[in-house]
Amino acid sequence: MTARVAIVLVAHASALAHGAREVAGQMAAGVDIEAVGGFVVDGVETLGTDVDGVRAAVEGLLARGRDVVVLGDLGSAVITAELVVDLLERGDAARVRVAHGPFVEGAVAAGVAAAGGAGLEEVAEVVRRAAEQWDSPPAEQAAQPADGATRVVLGNTTGLHARPAAVLATLVAGLDAEVLVNGAPADSIFELMKLGIAGGEEIELRVTGERADEARATVTAAIESGLGER
């Protein structure tokens, strides 16, 4: 399945754009991510941003029916992206958001959100919030009484690192329920990774919402099975 929101990563160096694409792509199966980095002068790549390159990437994705979230690595990349949006037809411009946020964390968060079926505004919002993820204090709910919590053992050996965290966050993002893992929102890959849960560790799971029972069963099964790893 292909996500309806695609991502364009604009950086001052090709290696930076493509590296971020690789990292984000690891956790965003089915999401179109385009990397546009550097600026070619007389056939030689220099550090800079490329209006025509960004425009081609955005227009190509729009033509394929995607909505597009654009991230920039520095101010001039954001300025470049905003210029490209201004150059689009009005109807097309409405399907593009330039999201201000940290480049790599934002790209990963956007990829995970898009893979989970999030819409344009939602994906742009997770980019904006990506920096806060590092600042927020350790989830306080973890210290609260465990009433109504389910205990599940993480069924892999390497723990809740980036890849399984992405699998879980993507799964939860697609569910019609609120899921907390050790008190942290399970639709956030960053919150999950910060928990530092080891393989085989017992996890406290809280699920609320209209379809909580169904969601709890789905998430429990996924965690116990190791989130795609053994």
Partner 1 sequence: MTLGVAWALDWMRGAAARVEHHKDELVELDRQIGDGDHGANLARGLATVVARLEELSSPPALVSDVLRVAATTVMSTVGGASGPLYGTAFLRAARVTARPELDPQGLVAMLEACVDGAHQRGGAVVGDKTMVDALAPAAEAAARAAGEGADVVGVLRAASLAARAGAESTAGLTAVKGRASYLGERSVGVADPGAVSSALVVEAAYEAAAAAMRRAA
Binding-site ranges for partner 1 (CB under 8 A): 12, 39, 41, 46-52, 74-76, 79-80, 82-83, 86
3-state secondary structure (DSSP) of residue 65: coil
| Residue with Cβ nearer partner 1 (55 or 216) | 55
Closest distance to partner 1 from the beta carbon of 128 (Å): 17
| CA-based radius of gyration for the chain | 19
Tell me whether residue 46 or residue 208 sits nearer to partner 1 (CB atom).
46
- In contact, 59 and 34? CB cutoff 8 Å: no
CB of 82 to partner 1, least distance (A): 7
In whole angstroms, give the CA distance from residue 226 to residue 11: 35
Looking at the DSSP bridge assignments, the partners of residue 96 are 68
Q: Please identify, using beta-carbon distances, which residue of 68 and 166 lies nearer to partner 1.
A: 68
Kindly write down the DSSP assignment for every residue of 211-230, as one continuous string. THHHHHHHHHHHHHTTTT--
From the CB of 88, what's the least distance to partner 1, in Å? 14
Residue 81 CB, nearest approach to partner 1 (Å): 9
Helix %, strand %, coil % for the chain, to 5?
45, 20, 35
Burial of 171 (0-12, 13-18, 19+ CB in 10 A): buried
Spatial distance between the Cα atoms of 200 and 159, rounded to a whole number of angstroms: 7
Nearer to partner 1 by C-beta: 39 or 190? 39
Residue 78 CB, nearest approach to partner 1 (Å): 9
**Which residue's CB is nearer to partner 1, number 52 or number 121?**
52
Query: CA-CA-CA-CA torsion for 16, 20, 23, 29, nearest 10 degrees?
Result: -140
